Structures are given as C-alpha cells and as structure tokens.
Structure 1
C-alpha cells in the first residue's frame, strides 16, 4: 500500500461522499479507490467507512480520522507550496497597494534595488492613503496600517509597528505654551489625520494609567504629509507616526511634547489573499520583511 495515496483517496471519498466521486476526482477506477481504503482500514485495524452498493457513510472513527487527517494534508500542501516558488524566478506583473506617506518614507527608497534583483518582474505600486479593495482592485498584495484588521479570509503578515509622537513647531509652542498633561490638549489647535483609526480621540498611557482625549480641530486632512506641512508651518500640534517626522525632530524644526506618556501605536501588515503565494508576491513580502527587520 502507498500510504500517502491511500490517505488522499480516503479523504477525497469522505469529502465527495462516494467512491465513484472520488474516482472521478482522482482519475482512478472505483475498484482502485475501494482497494486503497480497504488497505488503509487493514493497516489501522479499524473500519472507517460503512458502505453498501448504493451509499457510504463515515463511521465514528472515520469521521474523527477524516477531521485530523484533513488538517495534516492541508499543512503538507502548504509546505509544498511554500517551497515551490523557490524553484522559480519571480516574473510577470505585481500589483501592490500601499499608503502614500508610509510607502514614500519606508518602502520607495528600496524599490530600485528590489527591481534590479528581479529583472523579469514588473511592479505597479498604487499609492493612496484611502483603503483599497484588495480583491476587487485586482491587487496581489496590500500594505495596511491598522490596529484593527477587518475579519476576512485574507492573510496578514505583520511588518512593523509605528509609534506616534505628539509634536509641533517651536514657534507654535513659543506662542501658545506646551501641554503639561494629555487633558491640556483641549486648549491647543489639533491637526487631525482623518483616515486614522484614532482621528477623534488620542490615547496616552503612563504607569498603568490610560487617558483618552477627545480632539477637534479647525484642520482635518486625509494625508499625513499635509499634517506634517501644517505642523512645520506652526499651525498647531498633532499626533503623527514618529517615522514621518524623524528628520524634522532631529533638525529641531519640530519638537515633541508629552514624551513621558506613551502614545498610540499602529501595526503595519502585508495583506494578501492566499497562503499559496506566487513567486512574485513572495519575493515582495521577503523584500518588505528584510527592509523592516533592521528597524
């Protein structure tokens, strides 16, 4: 008996509900299906299927075996699929959707080297901060920053976590003063990034204490780059991913406040529709993981 073949035959028969159905799916004769299952039962010393000339049904043991076996065979298929792309060169068109500011800051500088590494690959990188429909838009992969991914059949691989900093221009603080505690923010001009999951409420934590502060400002905008521009112009203060203003903070063009409080954190994921990745998609996921491994 070929044990692996017998396992696949049993699973297919149990799923299809008939020997004839299993035979059609596997390209075998009904007699070959019956023989494989009989040999498997003899090997296990237990009856898996009750069958008559007209019908078949799983025994209690057969149902339990089928459930566990299905998980094992699925894992085996995934292991095979994971290795398959390694033997092929990434090629074709890869369509990726990514948030504009995050991509320009963290990904775009590495794209030329990625493309040089894979000369048979064409990349279409769609940059927009609004969330796109991955399946409906025909994307192979999307990059999403969110502390709450929607329930779906999509696979999400965490890349990094963005910490946020509350900051503004030195001139703004010279004119308006600095908040000493989160609750003071109601007296300041807050610039809000509208696509954030925390656009209207900023949360700060310290020593086990959490403070959620409702914010409302005159300027609400759907681009983190526009938020940064407003901060540099001295229009107000905002809670923004630190990586977007790292250079401005280092140069003194912006200054952080309430640094003794921990602000919001946003996980960033690579999201794709299947665990069985094409070589082109796996290559890009590997590129992202390498890029963020050192951060």
Structure 2
C-alpha cells in the first residue's frame, strides 16, 4: 500500500475525529479507510488510535506521530502547489504567538491582510504577554520584541523596530512638574511593566552608557496598554514602547520626558526553529510581514 496515502488517511481521521466523517471527506468507504490506517499501524508496529464503538481518539503515540507528519504533508502540498499553481495555492496552518499589545494593534491587521491574499492558509494567532519557548512545538513562529536573539538554534527575521519613551500626561506634569534628573524617579509615581516584587527599576541609557535606575513603582502590569491608560489618567510616569504610546505622543495626550536617557531601540522580529524553515507557507508569511512593516518603524523622535 502507498505509505503516503495511508499517512493522509490517518491525518484525516485524526482531524475529523471519526472514520465515517474522514471517509466521506476522502470519498472512500469506511472499510477502505480502515484498511489504510490498519496498514499504517502494522507498518509502524504501533497503535495510533484508541477505538471504541462510539468514538475514536489518538493514543499517546498517535499524537506524537501526528505532530511530526502534519508539517511534512503540508510542506509536500506547498511544494506541489507552488509548482502547479504558484504561491496562491498554498494551504495549511500557521500557529503564531505574539505579545498582546502589539498583536492587537499592529499584527492583527497584517495577519488579516495576509489571509486575504492566501485564503487557503489558516492562522492560529495566540496573543499573550507570557514569554513562550519558540523551540517548543506549540507554535510555528513567535513574534519577539527585545534585543536580537543569540540562540543559534533559532532563525530570526527582523520586521521592524521600536523606540521607548518615558512619558507623562499634561495633568501629571502640571501637578508634579517635569522631571529633569533621573534621581527624581525614585520619588515620583511610576508605572512599572512587570511585577513590583521583582524590582522597581528601569534600564535606561545616557551618552551610550547603560544604567539601571531605581523608580517609585505605584502600579505594575504585564500589559503595556494598562500602563498607558494609567499614564493618560495622570497616575504616574510610564516607560513604554512607542508602538503603544506613539499615537498619544502625537496627539499631545502624553509628553516625553528625560529624553537624554532614552535607551537603545528594540528589535521586533519573527523567530522559529530551523525545522520550520522548510515550510513554504511560513516563508511566505515571514516575507509578507517584512513587507507589511517595511516603512513602519515605531520610532518617535
């Protein structure tokens, strides 16, 4: 029996959750489909499905096998589609992880434009401010904001950059005055990204010298939009990327202060392990995002 056909039969049963539904999708009889899956199990010398009279579920071995063959079969389809139809024939799933704020305000519109151009590619976009391991099999590609990765086990593609600013509302500055020395951050109310328990400080730079500055943290959050809202209400000074506060700065709702202590810009990049590199749909996705953000550096000032 053709091994590739059996693998596709197995994948379809796993996707549909039943032999009957998978058989209908493939245009086969249940007995034909069952023979293909049984042949594959016999060939591999493993049991891929738990079978009862009411349901079919993957065994632990079946789950591991499925996780490994889906990229292979999708890549095979991508290659065939490129040869036969061009890149518009690409299909499959791209699982993307990105930080919440950038994902909502900037990445989502680009992803929707990508799906418009490649309607047969499905995107699973998970937004979370929790840092995920890009080497896990949970995601195909991870959007990371920070210093360039130094991990040789990862492939990294820069898509844009962002600067960061210390900002405050006009009402805050009217009440406390504009700070002129970073030592004032130890007493003025500050809005901290992260946890107050894990250190009240900001990493700044002055005349190309990095410095860690103690702050008076009155509110902490793992989401930059929360801190932006607090800053707009005059609750404190915020130190945030300009992809979050750039619009408010442009409107005069937030005012940059202590500009001489601006740190280096951050890289916004897409990273993924080398075993994902062969997926044509992922290469197309990365190139689309690079083009989408080519003229959109989030640099203010």
The TM-score with structure 1 as length reference comes to: 0.65
1-structure distance, mates of 2:273, 2:116: 26
Deviates more, 1:229-238 or 1:136-145: 136-145
Residue 148 of structure 1 deviates from its aligned partner by 5.9
User: C-alpha deviations, 1:198-226, integer Å up to 9, x for none?
Assistant: 97432333434444312241211110111
Structure 1 Cα separation of the partners of residues 247 and 168 of structure 2: 13
- 1:266 corresponding residue in structure 2: 266
How far did residue 129 of structure 1 move?
1.0
Q: Does 1:291 align with 2:292?
A: yes
| SS of residue paired to 1:218 | strand
| CA–CA separation in structure 2 for the residues paired with 1:213 and 1:111 | 37
Moved more, 267-276 or 282-291: 267-276
8 A contact 2:187–2:215 mirrored in 1? no
Aligned residue pairs, count? 212
Aligned to 1:98: 98
- Residue 60 (structure 2) aligns with: none
TM-fit CA distance, 1:229: 1.0
Aligned partners of 1:291 and 1:199: how far apart in 2? 36
1:41-78 deviation digits (Å, cap 9, x = unpaired): xxxxxxxxxxxxxxxxxxxxxxxxxxxxxxxxxxxxxx
Judged with a 3 Å threshold, the aligned counterparts in structure 2 of structure 1 residues 202 and 184 are, in CA distance, closer, same or farther, namely same
In 1: Cα distance, 2:149 partner to 2:260 partner: 29
**Matching residue of 1:255:** 255
Provide the rounded CA distance (Å) in 2 between the counterparts of 1:183 and 1:246: 25
Q: Residues 203 and 212 of structure 1 are in contact (CA less than 8 Å); yes or no, is this contact kept in structure 2?
A: yes
User: Which protein shows a greater Rg?
Assistant: 1
Within 2, Cα distance between the matches of 1:191 and 1:151?
31
Q: Secondary structure at the match of 1:219?
A: strand
Q: Deviations over 1:152-211 (max 9, x none)?
A: 51212222222100001111111111110222211211111118xx97432333434444
Aligned residue for 1:287, secondary structure, equals helix
For the residues of structure 1 that align with 2:216 and 2:256, how far apart are their CA atoms? 20
Q: Distance in 2 between matches of 1:204 and 1:131?
A: 22
Partner of 1:19: none
- Tell me what 1:110 maps to: 110
> 2:142 matched to which residue of 1?
142
In 2, Cα distance between equivalents of 1:224 and 1:119: 32
Unaligned runs of 5+ in 2: 1-75, 297-301
In 1, Cα distance between the equivalents of 2:138 and 2:187? Answer: 46
Residues 193 and 199 in structure 1, CA contact (< 8 A), matched pair in contact too: no
SS in 2 for 1:260: helix
Normalising by structure 2, we get a TM-score of 0.64
1:263 CA drift (Å): 2.5
Q: Counterparts of 1:120 and 1:148 in 2: how far apart (Å)?
A: 32
Matched, 1:244 2:241: no
Question: What is the alpha-carbon distance in structure 2 between the residues aligned to residue 205 and residue 191 of structure 1?
Answer: 19
Q: Which moved more, 1:87-96 or 1:207-216?
A: 207-216
Tell me the secondary structure at the aligned position of residue 293 of structure 1: coil
Matches of 2:135 and 2:102, distance apart in 1: 21
Find the counterpart in structure 2 of residue 5 from structure 1: none
Over 3 Å counting, the alpha-carbon distance change for 1:144 and 1:210 in structure 2 is: closer
Q: Distance in 2 between matches of 1:141 and 1:95?
A: 7
Whether 1:162 aligns to 2:162 is yes
- Tell me if structure 2 keeps the 8 A contact 1:182–1:204: no
Q: CA RMSD in A?
A: 2.6
